[in-house]
Structure 1
Amino acid sequence: MSFLLIDEHKLAKQVIQNIEQNEIAIAVANLRQQAKTSDDLPPAWLLHTADALENNDWSILSEGFINLDFIGKNGYFSIVAPYRINRQGQGHVALSAIYGKMHGNQEPSIDQLEHLSRENFGTLGQPISRNLSFTEIASCGNVSGENGEAFIVPNGWLFPNSICGPALNNASQQQRRFLGSSRECIQAIFEPTTANLLLDPLEDDINSDRYRHIDTQVHEAGHASGLGFNLKIEQNLFQNYTYAGIEEWRADSLGFEFAASILPAQEAGKLIAVNFCIRFGLDAHRLGGMEDVDVYASLISLEHLFQNEAIYVTKNGQLALHNLSYPGLLQAVELHRTQALTLTRKELKLKHLAGFFYLYQIDIHPSTQSIFQGLIIDRCQGIWSQLQ
């Protein structure tokens, strides 16, 4: 059995290599061979993938992706399809492939989060997207490496209705990024005690993957709340980086609210630490600068921290939290939570969708923007330039 598993891994990796080298016909043949012999990958999904590649018809994969038919009985999965990423305000599409194994994370439950959303807003804009964390075995294209996506959003896949499928959180890539540049950035941006508080949950060998998983799952619950992310995409409401950035910040902040409802303050605070490490240690340094969606979301988060008087600049020119505890981190995002709740309730009361553009406006104080540029972006430029 172990030899069969080794052979399966080898053939699955070979398909990834075929895609990377644009050997489409060979990849199709290998996928069909896999379908005959694989015990860990679903044969029907592999055959559908081969057909989609051969005919350049990606609609074949839609139903299976939404229904999670791409995952085998032991958690192994493979996806091959065009995937779109946004960099410097531009969309880039590449045929991409990922082979990995899903984790068994099941908390919090989707039912629990959907109940919380209805409890807060009286309705749920859409079903909450399931977040699936996985360990990567091989990858290529826009879902691979430092310049690819570690959090693979469903609507990035270019087949119909992909937005209704799961988000995929690449724990392997997240950990690689954290152990390198992201951790260095957090240590450069924040004074040592604050930096240690933020980094400790991600340095927890036992729980770090769990914290990342819950953070992304409550974030997805935030997107589903209100009018719902899907409707906003369908109605082209994210017409520039500011609207999309506010949506990302709103999803973060509602995620904090949901975490506070389902977890003790100590644990909820650790999720916020994980979020800050991602936003300030990774997202703030994307190549698009201030006009990148995730950079702008990070800037909005910093603005609310200052407004909430939760953070200050030390004499050494580093950022520091006033309350150095995980319950204190939960208090630090109190304004995030209340403002996001208010924004979401207002969007549900819109009589015309055109009002969305007036509603989704957040003023950033010039001093916040200056601090963000100087103490976050510029300070880490040398760290990130080593990777680019």
Structure 2
Amino acid sequence: MTDVEVIMSEFSLSGNYRVQSRREAEPSKLIGDWFPAVEGLLDADTVNHALRAHPFWSRTTNVELRPALVTGRSGKFATEPDILYKRDFFLPDPGTMSMPVDIVDVRKSRKNWAARAACTRNLLADGTYERLTERLDDLDVVIANEYYLHEAGHFLGYDVLTKYQDGYFAPGGKTAWPLVYLEELRADLQAFGFGARLLPAAQAARILLYNVSLRFGVHREGIATRGVAPYGIVPFLLFCILRELRFVSVALMNDRWVIRLANLDEFAIVRVMRACAEHAESELTIPELATTDVIERALTAAKYVRRRLADTDAIDDYARVMESPSTSELTEHEQS
């Protein structure tokens, strides 16, 4: 990052961009302002200090990320649903500004949050969504912080960048999506651990509440509106862990199946966050570090996924609440 880019609060990017899941790039523009340094907002230096102090830091990676308030977007920045824009996939036009870091499009994320409100609300027990939104009053900061922590979660142990370099996600030459989904879960769970360390309890608890609402809400929205699962099995894997920790359960209320959250007390939530991080370390990160063979590492992860997919009770509970979207969800989504 140049001195000019550090000083300037605004940015204007013009060039060719593609998203990670696509090979095709197209002319794209992104205009906006860097998110201001407000109370409660993490930054890369703070997160990287915690990352380097972690016993499972890979020692080769750091978080290079900034949240932004985007005022204009075109091309892939506008047409793709991604809210994280990767500098590695952006080629600036000659003589124009390069993308200095990965960028989190906070406003797009907030807009998406509002658009799926009906799906998220109907997924939860009566009144739960309203209590969640009260807790997530400073949603922009929560969105930015969750992304900082999620990226740090990717960089523990056998980190995500090395996995891509090793061909870990495509052991047979073709993408093995369960491995991709499990890596996203691993990042989420380890992010909870970082959040519990770096943020006061009330702010840390928001990270879990936001993540749960995001993962479950996006899945429900995808099923309700397009018959697809945008996050694949990531929400299910998260559901399994939170169900084991007794933080979520499924209940029949007013003739509909809903997810109930056991406790919204901030200190109880932080304990769940720490337990999630410990689960990721013991079940995923440490086993991956026990060998240097890429195939063995992939097989270890595949066994974890297979074990979850063999849990018929969890599958039944999950299907009850996720697979039957209501007419009101479809109508409200269309109106938004």
TM-score, normalising length: structure 1: 0.70
Distance 1:318 1:167 in 2: 36
Distance of aligned partners of 1:299 and 1:259 in 2 relative to their CA distance in 1, 3 Å threshold: same
Query: What residue is the counterpart of 1:174 in the other structure?
Result: 109
* Equivalent position to 2:162, from 210, 225, 231: 231
Q: What are the Cα deviations for residues 161-206 of structure 1, in whole angstroms up to 9, with x where unaligned?
A: xxx962211111112112222x22221100133323332244x2xx
Distance 1:70 1:139 in 2: 22
* Equivalent position to 1:366, from 308, 312, 321: 312
* Equivalent position to 2:83, from 138, 142, 150: 150
Distance of aligned partners of 1:174 and 1:109 in 2 relative to their CA distance in 1, 3 Å threshold: closer
Give the counterpart letter for 1:376 in structure 2: M
1:197-208 equivalences in 2 (<5 Å): 197-202=131-136, 204=137, 207-208=138-139
Indicate conservation of the 8 Å contact 1:191/1:319, yes or no.
Answer: yes
**Structure 2, unaligned runs of 5 or more:** 93-98, 171-175
Query: What residue is the counterpart of 1:95 in the other structure?
Result: 27
1:1-388 equivalences in 2 (<5 Å): 67=1, 71=5, 73-85=7-19, 93-105=25-37, 107-144=41-78, 147-157=80-90, 166-181=101-116, 183-202=117-136, 204=137, 207-239=138-170, 240-282=176-218, 285-286=221-222, 289-290=228-229, 292=230, 294-316=231-253, 317-342=257-282, 343-361=284-302, 362=305, 363-364=308-309, 365-379=311-325, 382=330, 386=334
Q: Which has the larger radius of gyration?
A: 1
2:19 partner SS: strand
Give the counterpart letter for 1:177 in structure 2: N
Q: What are the Cα deviations for residues 114-146 of structure 1, in whole angstroms up to 9, with x where unaligned?
A: 34334432543433222211111111122115x
Name the structure where helix makes up a greater proportion of residues. 1
Distance 1:84 1:283 in 2: 24
Distance 1:227 1:274 in 2: 26
Indicate conservation of the 8 Å contact 2:83/2:104, yes or no.
Answer: yes
- Sequence identity of aligned pairs in percent? 17
Indicate conservation of the 8 Å contact 1:199/1:277, yes or no.
Answer: no
- Cα deviation, residue 335, structure 1: 4.0
2:81 partner SS: coil
- Cα deviation, residue 152, structure 1: 2.1
Distance of aligned partners of 1:173 and 1:377 in 2 relative to their CA distance in 1, 3 Å threshold: farther
Indicate conservation of the 8 Å contact 2:154/2:160, yes or no.
Answer: yes
Distance of aligned partners of 1:123 and 1:333 in 2 relative to their CA distance in 1, 3 Å threshold: closer
Query: What residue is the counterpart of 1:40 in the other structure?
Result: none
2:121 partner SS: helix
Distance 2:36 2:323 in 1: 36
Distance 1:255 1:80 in 2: 32
- Cα deviation, residue 328, structure 1: 2.8
Distance 2:88 2:325 in 1: 33
- Cα deviation, residue 68, structure 1: 6.0
Query: What residue is the counterpart of 2:173 in the other structure?
Result: none
Give the counterpart letter for 1:168 in structure 2: I
Query: What residue is the counterpart of 2:95 in the other structure?
Result: none
Give the counterpart letter for 2:291 in structure 1: L
Aligned length: 309
- Cα deviation, residue 69, structure 1: 7.5
2:11 partner SS: strand
CA RMSD, Structure 1 to Structure 2 (Å): 3.0
TM-score, normalising length: structure 2: 0.80
- Cα deviation, residue 285, structure 1: 4.1
- Cα deviation, residue 334, structure 1: 4.5
Distance 2:119 2:150 in 1: 23
- Cα deviation, residue 109, structure 1: 4.1
